[in-house]
Amino acid sequence: MLNKKPLQTIALLSVMVLFFSFTTENIPVSTNDVNLDFHNQEHIISVKGKPTAINFWEQYVYSNYECLGDTTLTYEAFYNGLKGYYALKEKGILKQEGVLTIVDFTQHSSKERMYIINVNTFEIIKKTLCSHGKNTGAAMATSFSNTNGSLQSSLGFFLTAETYSGKFDYAMRLDGLEKANSRARERGIVVHGANYATPEFLERNGGVLGRSYGCPALPKDDATELIDEIKEGTCFFIYSNDFNYLQSSDVINSYRYEDIIDELNKV
């Protein structure tokens, strides 16, 4: 994997240049000096005056999105995923930090739309195909539910849990962290491998991936490796630009921009 630290350093320096050019009034962070050490790099930036946290956040997200080097992941999915990741980290909910998985259901099912991201370096560790629920849509995921028997995918933030062997061979349970997915465990929503989530199935099925009963299903041969990368307490986010979810998400909407600088200083 390529070393992206030089690129990230340039991007973060660019953030600060843009950040201090903003004049929009928003939530003031502090009148005291603020020292930021981004991802243990040598560049420590001191801030004086009243920077606005929301402007800082917007530029921080944008610069690290650029560091990913892969715009197939939509900016909106990354933006909300990162916001939720920091909110859960701040609350101490994550058992393992530094990894964020985003399933971007705004993309066609033929695309590799599950991304495992190293949040310390902002590199994509792996990306892969991922199926949605049978009643969530055909080629595109459009309808979501938290109801038993709906055969639909659920949106929102999950905590990855234990692995087990069963009818799906090797699989990983998910614990829903929001109203939109609170029944994930009782519904049996798990990450597992499936023959209908493979490139070969795409070719046989007119370029459309097969569908699950609501689980985020992965290519059969790759599932064990992917699950082992994210199991036991990492942040797992299923995203769609669904207005009702985005407005009601406790995780996304609980994050205070004033806390961003303090949280990033802990990195």
pLDDT at 17 over 60: no
Q: What whole-number distance in Å separates Cα of residue 124 and Cα of residue 118? A: 6
pLDDT at 242 over 60: yes
pLDDT of residue 54: 78
37-74 per-position pLDDT tens digit: 333 333 333 344 445 677 888 899 999 999 999 999 99
109-118 per-position pLDDT tens digit: 999 999 999 9
Q: For residue 197, give both structure tokens.
A: 């989530």
pLDDT at 159 over 60: yes
Range with lowest mean pLDDT among 51-55, 65-69, 99-103, 124-128? 51-55
pLDDT of residue 169: 93
Q: What whole-number distance in Å separates Cα of residue 28 and Cα of residue 186? A: 43
Q: What whole-number distance in Å separates Cα of residue 236 and Cα of residue 218? A: 14
259 or 230: whose pLDDT is higher? 230
pLDDT at 213 over 80: yes
For residues 77-90, average pLDDT: 95
Please, is 267 exposed, middle or buried when counting C-beta atoms within 10 Å of its C-beta (0-12, 13-18, 19+)? Answer: middle
pLDDT of residue 254: 81
Please, is 206 exposed, middle or buried when counting C-beta atoms within 10 Å of its C-beta (0-12, 13-18, 19+)? Answer: exposed
Percent of the chain past pLDDT 90, that is, above it, reads 71
**Residue-averaged pLDDT of the chain:** 84
pLDDT of residue 69: 97
Check: CB of residue 182 under 8 Å from CB of residue 114: no
For residues 185-206, average pLDDT: 98
pLDDT of residue 252: 93
Q: What whole-number distance in Å separates Cα of residue 206 and Cα of residue 29? A: 52
pLDDT of residue 30: 34
46 or 14: whose pLDDT is higher? 14
Measured torsion, CA atoms of residues 81, 82, 87, 90, in degrees rounded to the nearest 10: 140
